[in-house]
């Protein structure tokens, strides 16, 4: 069988050539659609394997022209621009199969074999039609032979149709999963959603995603579902260890149908494994390995197969893009938050009495949150919101803050507007979405008598209740134009006096027992 491979990347052409030469095919290569057309005119090829995006004649146009020149030629599209739309469009324009880069070697070989087999059947059918003149055969014998051939053809057609329906369903599923995961930017949410979607398609006992921590140079299990999820979540592993290490080294998936009979695993490893069948696929973007995705044991008890590997690899390529997007978004978000924080620092630096206030609020809030068992994720939100809680003071005339006399009503209303202004400044940036409500609410009271929304009790989020205690404590223990700073015990007495009114009693208690308060008290006694 003679095959023409067309790709503007010579490396890809030669790779496919080497892979298929070993299967006994005769392979020619071409690096452009125009040259490929000249070769097709000169030589009788059975199969064309082409890239989609190429300078000059692109993949789909090349296939159309090749089929006009040589109707028996079959075509497989191999492309890095793998979208469902591309796949559907390719199938519409006479492409016999479609493989996404980075391709799986087994998948490529299977596709070539299947496509050439289909071609053989089609040619045999044409031959039947050519033989349809009775000639020397008797009419009865001819009819019998014809009906036998039609029966075989209908069987083959039913089989092809079944495969097409299966492929169509897979494309639909992949499309749905792609849409879902590419719309999420929060890494934890993204990874957990991804595992949900995979579990929805292949019911498995356990699944996990391990990402490479480039600073610590090791895998970290960032998402996990199933009966062992709590055991493995957050665990780390060296990059050269275990199945994940093998996947990363080989840059290709590992399928284990039944570990007891798999020669790649030693007896020692087999006895240690509680799993029977699994797939581990790499998360790759360009040349970078981001991590691995693992699915372990089907609930049905059946083993994983090549179809599952192809499905997981396709999903893995989508997840890789989404993971990278999420990381880039995080960097962008951190840069933007840093920029706004430095703006807030500048603002405080201009006011002698406010200097260091936001840093202190962040420090006290974090310590209270720690006592109250707030998650790391929530503590990060609290840290950023605390650092920016007074950003709304930008634009409020300086003389109002530094006025030694009592503020009039208008001036007081202007000051009070800063919590809402803070929300208005941060919101359009599109970052710190979960922290904005704490910035808006940092002057609310536990009994609902605060501003701007008069929220109280459980309607006031815990992080906001923490921030109000931290904010008030630092305000009381800092010097103001109109008074000296309060001593720590006096400030704590005030917090306790207002406990249940302005402040959540649980938060005040947590602060009273916090490490930071002990440290501040010791410092106060020394100086
Ligand atoms: Fe404030």
Q: What is the pLDDT of residues 60-74, one digit of tens each?
A: 889 889 988 888 899
User: Is pLDDT at 311 greater than 60 in this prediction?
Assistant: yes
Q: Residue 123: what pLDDT?
A: 78
Tell me, in angstroms, the distance from the centre of ligand 1 to residue 329's CA: 29
**CA–CA distance, 171 with 193 (Å, rounded to integer):** 19
Q: Given a cut of 90, is residue 470 above it in pLDDT?
A: yes
Per-residue pLDDT reduced to its tens digit, 171-193: 666 777 777 776 777 788 888 88
Q: What is the CB-side half-sphere exposure of residue 485 using CA atoms within 13 A? A: 13
Q: Kindly state the percentage of the chain with pLDDT values over 70.
A: 85
Between 354 and 399, whose confidence is greater?
A: 399
Question: Is there a contact between 270 and 177 (Cβ–Cβ < 8 Å)?
Answer: no
**Distance from CA of residue 217 to its chain's centroid?**
20
The CA 422 to ligand 1 mean position distance, Å, reads: 9
How far does the centroid of ligand 1 lie from the alpha carbon of residue 443, in Å? 6
Instruction: Give distance in angstroms: CA of 186 to centre of ligand 1.
Output: 29
Q: Rounded to the nearest whole angstrom, what is the distance from the C-alpha of residue 308 to the centroid of ligand 1?
A: 55
**Separation of CA 396 and ligand 1 centre (Å):** 12
CA of 330 to the centre of ligand 1 (A): 27
**How far is ligand 1, taken at its centre, from the CA of residue 390, in Å?**
5
What's the confidence (pLDDT) of residue 28? Answer: 94
Query: What pairing do the DSSP bridges indicate for beta strands 218-226 and 204-213?
Result: antiparallel
Full strand arrangement of the beta sheet holding 254-256: 236-238, 218-226, 204-213, 288-298, 278-285, 254-256
**147-156, 165-174, 297-306, 495-504: which has the highest mean pLDDT?**
495-504
Cα 415 to ligand 1 centroid, rounded to whole Å: 9
Cα(419) to centroid(ligand 1), Å:
6
Q: Ligand 1 mean position to 458 CA, how many Å?
A: 21
The alpha carbon of 466 and the centre of ligand 1 are apart by a number of angstroms equal to 13
Asked if pLDDT for residue 128 goes beyond 90, the answer is no
Distance from the alpha carbon of residue 407 to the mean position of ligand 1, in angstroms: 16
As a whole number, mean pLDDT of residues 5-12 equals 88
Q: Which residue has the tokens 């146009």?
A: 61
The owner of tokens 């050439």 is 116
Mean pLDDT of 260-283: 73
| Ligand 1 centroid – CA 292 distance (Å) | 45
In the chain, the percentage of residues whose pLDDT exceeds 90 is: 33
Domains and CATH numbers, the chain: 2-130 (3.40.50.2300), 187-327 (3.30.450.40), 350-526 (1.10.3210.10)
- The model carries a pTM of 0.52
Predicted local confidence at residue 32, as pLDDT: 92
Pairing label, strands 278-285, 254-256: antiparallel
Which residues sit opposite 298 in a β-bridge?
204
Q: How many angstroms separate the alpha carbon of residue 246 from the centre of ligand 1?
A: 54
Where does the pLDDT of residue 89 fall: very low under 50, low under 70, confident under 90, or very high at 90 and above? low
DSSP secondary structure string for all residues of 466-488: HHHHHHHHHHHTS-BTTBPPPPH
Instruction: Tell me what pLDDT residue 262 has.
Output: 76
């Amino acid at each position: 069988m003679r095959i023409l491979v067309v790709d503007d990347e010579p490396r890809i052409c030669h790779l496919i050539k080497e892979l298929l030469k070993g299967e006994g095919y005769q392979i020619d290569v071409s690096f452009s659609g125009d040259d490929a057309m000249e070769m097709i005119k000169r030589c009788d090829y059975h199969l064309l394997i082409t890239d989609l995006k190429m300078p000059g004649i692109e993949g789909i146009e090349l296939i159309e022209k090749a089929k006009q020149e040589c109707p028996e030629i079959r075509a497989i599209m191999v492309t890095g621009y793998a979208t469902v739309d591309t796949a559907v469009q390719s199938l519409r324009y006479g492409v016999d199969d479609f493989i996404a880069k980075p391709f799986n070697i087994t998948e490529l070989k299977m596709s070539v074999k299947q496509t050439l087999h289909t071609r053989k059947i089609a040619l045999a059918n044409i031959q039947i039609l050519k033989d349809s003149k009775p000639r020397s055969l008797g009419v009865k014998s001819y009819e019998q032979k014809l009906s036998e051939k039609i029966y075989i053809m209908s069987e083959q057609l039913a089989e092809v149709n079944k495969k097409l329906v299966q492929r169509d369903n897979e494309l639909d599923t992949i499309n749905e999963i792609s849409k879902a995961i590419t719309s999420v930017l929060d890494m934890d949410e993204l990874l957990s959603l991804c595992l949900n979607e995979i579990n929805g398609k292949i019911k498995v006992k356990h699944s996990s995603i391990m990402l490479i921590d480039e600073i610590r140079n090791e895998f970290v299990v960032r998402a996990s579902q199933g009966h062992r999820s709590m055991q493995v979540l957050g665990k780390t592993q060296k990059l050269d260890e275990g199945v994940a290490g093998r996947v990363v080294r080989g840059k290709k998936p590992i399928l284990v149908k039944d570990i007891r009979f798999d020669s790649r695993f030693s007896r020692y490893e087999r006895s240690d494994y509680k799993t029977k069948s699994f797939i581990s696929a790499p998360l790759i973007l360009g040349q970078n390995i981001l991590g691995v995705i693992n699915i372990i044991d089907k609930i049905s008890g059946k083993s994983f197969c090549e179809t599952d590997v192809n499905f997981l690899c396709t999903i893995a390529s989508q997840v890789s893009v989404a993971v990278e997007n999420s990381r880039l978004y995080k960097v962008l978000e951190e840069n933007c938050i840093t920029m706004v924080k430095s703006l807030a620092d500048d603002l405080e630096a201009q006011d002698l009495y406010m200097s260091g206030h936001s840093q202190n609020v962040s420090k006290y809030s974090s310590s209270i949150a720690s006592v109250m068992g707030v998650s790391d994720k929530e503590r990060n939100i609290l840290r950023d919101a605390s650092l920016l809680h007074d950003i709304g003071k930008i634009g409020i005339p300086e003389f109002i803050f530094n006025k030694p006399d009592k503020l009039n009503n208008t001036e007081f209303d202007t000051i009070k507007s800063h919590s809402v202004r803070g929300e208005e400044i941060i919101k359009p940036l599109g970052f710190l979405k979960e922290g904005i409500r704490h910035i808006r609410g940092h002057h609310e009271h536990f009994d609902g008598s605060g501003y701007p929304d008069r929220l109280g009790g459980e309607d006031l989020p815990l992080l906001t209740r923490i921030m109000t205690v931290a904010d008030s404590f630092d305000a009381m223990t800092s010097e103001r134009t109109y008074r000296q700073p309060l001593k720590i015990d006096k400030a704590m007495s005030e917090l306790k006096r207002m406990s249940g009114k302005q402040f959540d009693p649980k938060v005040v208690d947590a602060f009273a027992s916090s490490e930071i308060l002990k440290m501040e008290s010791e410092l106060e006694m020394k100086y």
